[in-house]
């Protein structure tokens, strides 16, 4: 089974986020970039499929700060090849980004493939179009919010489980090739020791490919960005833990909860 | 700009999901604002049972076909795109449920028009549709404008109150049975029912919800102790369930349970929209988070910026000692 996993670096939202002086973007000065959470799950699902059915897992990611660390970590976990796409600029808009990804898939020799796995959503997106547009461009099928991919080698049938509301799930049979948005892998993403990542850095390499700009496709225009206005905001309780605990008890008692 | 406002209904096994009514409520405001009509697009098979509550809309376009019986996103999207191509709506609103997750983006892809997801607000400003959208797990809000008709908007859960979009009568209905059904390589096989948990968290009066901030499985013990003294149960956000630290039956949010306890204590939960949609109706919400910017503080009634391992045990102890004192009083 040949699987391509799309990876994207996004700001770590546990850190403080500041708006840049232009009022339309994030201030990148102190941003810590990490792999988008659901992309990590997409990678895990791909590695699980490879372990069960053999094949290759190739990673494709736009060049970005700290992306090498993420790609080497993924190689150390068992991915076979990593390719960076130089020069992708998200400000070009998703259609242009997808056009570049499609070109990179061919210039880097990643097609044909059976599956392209992406994260179900990148936390910095405006339109969530990457996976669906990619599927439509390639004329492959598409499902998202997926949390299990099963391949039955004896029948050649692939089934995909998608989350529905309230804990309900739906199982679909899907013909490959397909682009799937992975929400969660079947197992928590594996841990890889730093020593193994270092070893991968020494012995393995990351390929790079350049693709021309896809012109003429307008992006959504951001007028402004802001931290949400505190329409509703909690009453904050301050003090040492014991003092705060005391105040909380008063609140609970006032609500008849003690 | 002219053209009607469309809301694509979100149905799960023949039942309308609440997010549909929320979208209808927003669509109604937008239609008034623009002096145009609001139409609900209902796709499926044998749909008559669900029409009776959509009367807030001016009309329902009821698209019925055996091929639409199952929620296969690409089949539904193609039908919506074709209809939009002939009827020229001005905006298409899609509630972002798990069932309709792919729909708006696939329609936008097929029509080559803009899609804005995670919208919390939508209105006409200077002849342009302006949408507010949440990014970065709810930590940032962006305003985007699009002049393109149609543009497609994915709406986060809770954009309006369900009651505002709910009516006890049906609107005018147009039945469309001739549809262009695309062959598909995706087929629904079966539904997998939610596993019954040891308890039903939607019935608990007190819930202690833990998120990624709990850091390890062992740390769950402190939240259990707090839940015990309060006579409640523990539940979790998605990362805690994904780690296997709590069973799926304890997940709160978009893909999990919707809960409305008297008390919800959110510990180490950032407050992403997909979690908040499952617990925002709780009576009293108390949030403990080490990040003063965490969006959970916008929905909580009381907030504490602190490490949960400092606060939870202290709270447990304070409640214990109060109940001891209380008992002495009565002794
Ligand atoms: C289609 C879809 C469906 C989804 N369904 C669900 C769902 O059903 N339920 C759900 O929960 N999510 C769901 N999500 C995921 C959701 O978007 C968030 O990713 C998730 O809710 C984040 O969980 P969290 O708050 O625990 O983790 P994070 O966002 O990582 O937040 C952890 C928080 O803990 C704080 N923290 C860290 N250390 C400490 C400490 N020591 N003390 C106190 N605080 C600390 C941090 O400041 C941070 O705010 C869904 C997403 C998608 C795309
Ligand atoms: N610029 C990009 N390069 C590679 N993959 C991407 C890019 N943008 C998004 N993706 C992938 O597509 C998924 C969905 O992204 P989005 O459509 O932006 O929500 C992400 O989780 C990534 O796996």
Residues B96 and B53 in one domain: yes
Q: How far apart are CA A168 and CA B251, in angstroms?
A: 12
Tokens of A74: 């993924």
Helices (H), chain B: 18-34, 73-87, 103-111, 220-229, 238-242, 273-276, 296-299, 308-330
Q: Is B190 a member of any domain? A: no
CATH of the domain at B295: 3.40.50.1220
Q: Are B227 and B234 in contact (CB under 8 A)?
A: yes
Q: How far is CA B51 from CA B6, B11, B13, B43, B311, in A?
A: 16, 12, 15, 12, 49
CA A196 – CA B84 distance, rounded (Å): 53
Which residue matches tokens 């970039």?
A33
* In a shared domain, residues B90 and B22: yes
User: Which residues form the domain of B42?
Assistant: 5-175
List pLDDT tens digits, range B255-290. Answer: 999 999 999 999 999 999 999 999 999 999 999 999
Q: What is the distance between the alpha carbons of residues A128 and A40, in angstroms, rounded to a whole number?
A: 17
Nearest to A149 by CA among A120, A119, A184: A184
SS3 state of residue A210: strand
Question: How long, in residues, is chain B?
Answer: 331
Looking at residue A187, what is its pLDDT? 95
Rounded CA gap, A102 and B133, in Å? 28
- Note whether residue B185 is domain-resident: no
Among B4, B67, B66, B85, residue whose Cα is nearest residue B40: B4
Check B189 against A126: CB less than 8 A apart: no
Summarize pLDDT for B13-47 with one digit per residue, the tens. 999 999 999 999 999 999 999 999 999 999 999 88
ipTM: 0.96
Q: How far apart are CA A150 and CA A236, in angstroms?
A: 47
Q: What percent of chain A has pLDDT over 70?
A: 97
Residue B237 forms part of a structural domain: yes
How much is the pLDDT for A128?
Answer: 92
* pLDDT at residue A230, rounded to an integer: 60
d(CA B179, CA B85): 13
Ligand 1 atom nearest the C-alpha of B308 is 42
Is CATH 3.40.50.620 the classification given to domain A2-210?
yes
C-alpha closest to that of B286 among A254, A16, A17, A123: A254
Name residue, tokens 């504490």. B304
Q: Is there a domain that residue B14 lies in?
A: yes
Of A37, A129, A167, the CB nearest to B256: A167
Nearest CA among B283, B159, B137, B302 for reference residue A232: B302
In a domain, B187, yes or no: no
B184 part of a folded domain: no
Among the atoms of ligand 2, which is closest to the Cα of residue A119? 21
Cα angle: A169, vertex A158, A75; to 5 degrees: 95
Kindly report, residue by residue over A33-65, the tens digit of the pLDDT: 999 999 999 999 999 999 999 999 999 999 998
**What total number of domains does chain B contain?**
2
Is A130 near ligand 2, meaning CB less than 6 Å away? Answer: yes
Query: What percent of chain B lies above the pLDDT cut of 90?
Result: 90
B305 to chain A, any CB pair closer than 8 A? The answer is yes
Helix, strand, coil percentages in chain B from 3-state DSSP, rounded to 5 = 35, 30, 35
pTM of the model: 0.96
User: Which of B302, B235, B290, B298 has its CA nearest to residue A14?
Assistant: B290
Domain stops at, among B175, B209, B233: B175
- Pocket lined around ligand 1, Cβ cut-off 6 Å: A 14, 120-121, 145, 183; B 98, 101, 137, 211-213, 237-239, 251-256, 268-270, 272, 274-275, 278, 288-291, 294, 307-308
Ligand 1 centroid to B295 CA: how many Å? 10
Instruction: Give residue limits of the domains in chain A.
Output: 2-210
Asked if residue B222 and residue B133 are part of one domain, the reply reads: no
Q: Is there a contact between A165 and B99 if contact means CB atoms under 8 Å apart?
A: yes
Instruction: Give the 3-state secondary structure of residue B44.
Output: strand
- Sheet-wide strand order for B115-125: A221-226, B140-146, B128-135, B115-125, B151-155, B91-95, B5-8, B38-44, B59-64, B172-176
Contact in structure between B78 and B110 (CB atoms under 8 Å) = yes
Backbone angles phi, psi at B39, to 5 degrees: -120, 140
Q: Do B135 and A19 touch (CB under 8 A)?
A: no
Is B259 in a helix, a strand, or coil? coil
Q: Kindly identify which residue of chain A lies nearest to residue B137, measuring between CA atoms.
A: A123
Higher pLDDT, B323 or A240: A240
């Amino acid at each position: 089974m040949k699987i391509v996993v799309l990876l994207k670096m996004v700001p770590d939202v546990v850190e403080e986020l500041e708006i840049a002086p232009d009022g339309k973007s994030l201030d990148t000065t102190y941003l810590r970039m990490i792999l988008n959470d659901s992309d990590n799950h997409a990678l895990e699902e791909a590695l699980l499929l490879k372990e069960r059915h053999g094949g290759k897992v190739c990673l494709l990611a736009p060049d970005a700060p700290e992306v090498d660390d993420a790609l080497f970590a993924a190689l150390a976990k068992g991915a076979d090849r990593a390719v960076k796409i130089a020069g992708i600029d998200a400000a070009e808009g998703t259609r242009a980004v997808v056009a570049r990804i499609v070109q990179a898939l061919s210039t880097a020799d990643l097609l044909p493939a059976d599956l392209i796995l992406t994260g179900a959503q990148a936390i910095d997106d405006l339109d969530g179009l990457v996976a669906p547009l990619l599927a439509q461009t390639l004329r492959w099928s598409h499902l998202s919010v997926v949390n299990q991919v099963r391949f039955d080698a004896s029948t050649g049938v692939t089934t995909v489980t998608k989350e529905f509301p309230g804990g309900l799930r739906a199982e679909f049979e899907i013909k490959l090739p397909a682009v799937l948005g992975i929400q969660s892998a079947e197992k928590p993403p594996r841990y890889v020791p730093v020593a193994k990542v270092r070893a991968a850095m020494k012995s393995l390499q990351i390929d790079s490919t350049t693709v021309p700009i896809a012109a003429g496709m307008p992006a959504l225009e951001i007028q402004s960005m802001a931290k949400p206005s505190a329409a509703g905001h909690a009453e904050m309780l301050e003090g040492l833990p014991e003092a705060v605990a005391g105040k909380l008890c008063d609140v609970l008692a006032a609500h008849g909860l003690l | 700009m002219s053209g009607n406002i469309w809301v694509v209904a979100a149905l799960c096994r023949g039942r309308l999901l609440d997010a549909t009514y929320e979208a209808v409520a927003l669509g109604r405001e937008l239609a008034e604002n623009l002096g145009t009509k609001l139409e609900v697009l209902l796709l499926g098979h044998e749909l008559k049972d669900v029409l009776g509550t959509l009367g807030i809309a001016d009309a329902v376009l009821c698209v019925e076909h055996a091929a639409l019986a199952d929620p296969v996103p690409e089949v539904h999207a193609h039908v919506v795109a074709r209809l939009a191509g002939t009827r020229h709506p001005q905006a298409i609103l899609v509630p972002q449920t798990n069932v309709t997750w792919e729909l708006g983006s696939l329609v936008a892809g097929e029509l080559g028009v803009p899609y804005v997801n995670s919208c919390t607000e939508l209105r006409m400003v200077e002849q342009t549709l302006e949408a507010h959208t949440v990014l970065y797990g709810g930590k940032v809000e962006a305003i985007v404008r699009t002049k393109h008709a149609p543009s497609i908007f994915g709406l986060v859960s809770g954009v309006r109150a369900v009651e505002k979009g709910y009516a006890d009568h049906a609107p005018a209905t147009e039945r469309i049975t001739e549809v262009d059904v695309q062959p598909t390589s995706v087929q629904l096989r079966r539904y997998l029912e939610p596993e019954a948990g040891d308890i039903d968290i939607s019935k608990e009066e007190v819930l202690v919800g833990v998120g990624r901030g709990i850091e390890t499985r062992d740390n769950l013990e402190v939240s259990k102790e707090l839940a015990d003294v309060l006579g409640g149960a523990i539940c979790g956000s998605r990362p805690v369930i994904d780690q296997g630290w709590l069973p799926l039956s304890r997940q709160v949010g978009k893909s999990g349970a919707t809960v409305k306890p008297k008390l919800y204590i959110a510990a180490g939960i950032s407050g992403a929209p997909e979690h908040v949609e499952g617990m925002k109706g709780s009576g009293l919400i108390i949030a403990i988070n080490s990040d003063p910017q965490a969006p959970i503080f916008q929905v909580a009634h009381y907030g504490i910026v602190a490490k949960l391992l400092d606060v939870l045990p202290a709270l447990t102890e304070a409640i214990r000692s109060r109940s001891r004192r209380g008992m002495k009083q009565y002794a």
